[in-house]
Amino acid sequence: MSIQSLPWYRQFWPWFVIALPLTAVVASIATLVIAVRDPDGLVVDDYYKQGLAINQALGRDRQAQALGLSGLVRLDPAGGQLALTLSGLPANADTDDLELRLVHPTRPHLDRSLTLTRESRDAWSARLGPIAPGRWHVQLESPQGAWRLAGRLALPEQQQALLQPNPD
């Protein structure tokens, strides 16, 4: 039996030619599903207001630097606890509660905001539920918004983050 006498669907080349565009269609559908399930959160509509907020944040960083503040955040995922040790805080500062934000760089729906309760003179803590692995920006602010410290955390490899003012 020669190749010419075989029907087209039993030959290699027609299926090869059909497979090329078919893979492009399947890849396009997969890309569409990924885009719909996990939208990109990088673009903001009010970029001017965001720029003004950045200038205000820089003033808070300078205030933290002037006070000589620094901190260390430690995570205990097994116990569901987050602990903060803060140094450089003046003795007369009224900061029973502090605000800590865990910000995911590309997925804003994963962001967390925690209120830390004072445990001792330089220690605060809060309950922390499960947190997704990845890189996180950690921001610590005074309740009045007078100062701010920032750091980075890479989970699950890193269980603690050094918090410092960003002067620039």
pLDDT digits (tens, 9 = 90+) for 135-144: 999 998 887 7
Select the more confidently predicted residue: 152 or 96. Answer: 152
pLDDT digits (tens, 9 = 90+) for 118-168: 888 888 899 988 888 889 999 988 877 788 889 999 888 888 899 988 755
Residue 73, pLDDT score: 93
Residue 50, pLDDT score: 65
Report domain extents, the chain.
3-37, 47-163
Q: Residue 60 CB: number of other CB atoms within 10 A?
A: 20
Residue 141, pLDDT score: 87
Which CATH superfamily, name and number, covers 47-163?
Answer: Immunoglobulins (2.60.40.10)
- Percentage of the chain exceeding pLDDT 90: 25
